Amino acid sequence: MKQFDTEKRVFIAAYLPEKDNRHAVSSSSIEGIEEYDDSTLLIGTLYGGLNFFNPHKKIFSHLTTKDGLPANSIHAIKKDTAGYVWFTTDYDLYKFKPADKKFIRLNINPGAINSEFNNVPFYPLQDGRWLTATTAEMICFYTGNNFDKNNSSRNIEITGLKVFDSYLPIDSLLDAGTAVKLNYQENFLTVEFALLDFSNLQQPNYYYRLDAVDKDWVSVGAKNFASYTNLEPGQYTFMVKAGDGTATTPVRSFKINITPPFWKTTSFTVITAAFIGLLIFWLFKRRIKTVRHEAALKQQISETEMMALRAQMNPHFIFNCLNSIDNLIQVDEKEKATLYLAKFAKLIRAILENSKNNVVPCWKDMETLKLYLELEELRCDNKFTYHINIADEILNGDYKVPPLVIQPFVENAIHHGLLNKIEADKKLMISVTAVNNHIYYCIEDNGVGREKAGEYKKINKPVYESMGMQITTDRINLFNQYKSGSVKITDLVDSNNQPCGTKVEVALINQS
């Protein structure tokens, strides 16, 4: 290749230009020739683009605007130490690397170029800069890693802030580092910025970010503004920087404070919450006072009526019901207390109505028993489940029984059999059938059994000694005119011969 150093133009000129000819240069006007490597010469032409010439094979390849070249007229061309090729077109200066054919236009500030480039070559200077010229100006710039010198004094500045379409005066706020304060209606913003660098030729890339809105930096190329719409009230920090691929400017930032409307301020929220809290507390106290007064009246009436019904209903149960209602009121479970109280009143009314007669219809007595079970289920926080199965002939027939005849057996199954059981599976099954003019009750539980219940009773030593079982047995025997086999109690065991509940069978003679 050394043989071409002094005679390049003469050698190339020997090949006449011909369009798309691999053996000819693309233009007769050659502006610059540069040796790229040992096997490639770069030839800049007028109107013919850039030519690559292989002197060994004597073959040309042409690069024009059809192939992505910015312009077909190349005035000066030179390679730097980093392997980039620099060239001038009519009004622009570019660098590129032939291997990847990526062209970078260098930014020459508006007004700096007043005329077009000609065939003035690039001249390296002692300080590392290159020199070229148009017909009217001298252009001096750094290349390669020396671009850091161009970037060392570059700064980016906020040049304007628009709210909707109106500019706000913010220079004094930016100089003082004070936040820009806006109201909640001023939430459509446009921030303008610019790179204050009048010596760098490369086009900058801008990056901006608004914290709490943008998760990462937003790259916008040469666009020097950022727009945001419908920003929520709050405090924001806007940041912007610029880079050209070789260096990045320091970040420029400022704060924006969008104040919320008064009804969204903390003080308004606190005052409103305090007012609502006081109102709720006053209504709550008033309701509690009313419920307690009503409950006290109902409790007084219930206790008065129950005194006449001790023979039919365990007074300990009544006390527990009233105590549970009072507890529900104390812990402000008003709806539950109201439901409990309503069922309790309905049960008392049913007992009073049934107490007027020695016998009542069996179906009606079972409705009263169901009320009792519902109360027990509520009072025990649904710790057991029950199921009542009544034969159709009982519901449709005229079978008469003593009021609450099996209630003590049911109560005993719940309190001594089921509630002493540790496992959660606590079931009570009640069935009523009619066979041969007899009414048969079956009360079966899957509790701990009578033996275990007796042990718990000795440990707990209850103050109240229930006599309901004996009284009920006597009532049944009297009703059946002392017929044998009226009450039968069976201890249930599982496959391992362990207690698993109790079954009580009651037989009544129909006296309809």
Q: Enumerate the domain spans of the chain.
A: 2-151, 155-264, 267-356, 357-512
Nearest to 248 by CA among 343, 151, 342, 347: 151
d(CA 22, CA 17): 10
- Indicate the fold that domain 2-151 takes in CATH: Methylamine Dehydrogenase; Chain H (2.130.10)
Match domain 357-512 to its CATH number in 3.40.50.300, 3.30.70.260, 3.30.565.10, 3.40.30.10. 3.30.565.10
User: What pLDDT digit, counting tens, does each position of 374-405 carry?
Assistant: 888 888 888 899 999 999 988 888 888 888 88
Residue 144: predicted pLDDT: 63
What is the helix (H) or strand (E) element at residue 88, kind and residue range?
A: strand 85-88
Q: Which two three-digit tokens encode residue 439?
A: 């009414």
Residue 146: predicted pLDDT: 47
User: What pLDDT digit, counting tens, does each position of 100-127 carry?
Assistant: 778 887 766 554 566 788 888 999 888 7
Sign of CA dihedral 79, 85, 90, 92: negative
Residue 308: predicted pLDDT: 35
3 state DSSP class of 425: coil
Q: What is the DSSP letter of 473?
A: H
| Residue numbers of the chain with a pLDDT score lower than 50 | 1-7, 10, 13, 111, 145-153, 199, 301-312
SS (H, E, C) 125-170: CCCCEEEEEECCCEEEEECHHHHHHHHCCCEEEEEEEEECCEECCC
Q: What is the DSSP letter of 250?
A: P
Q: Which CATH superfamily is domain 155-264 in?
A: Immunoglobulins (2.60.40.10)
Name every residue whose Cβ is closer than 8 Å to that of residue 455 and which is 6 or more positions away in sequence: none
Q: What is the DSSP letter of 232?
A: P
Residue 4: predicted pLDDT: 43
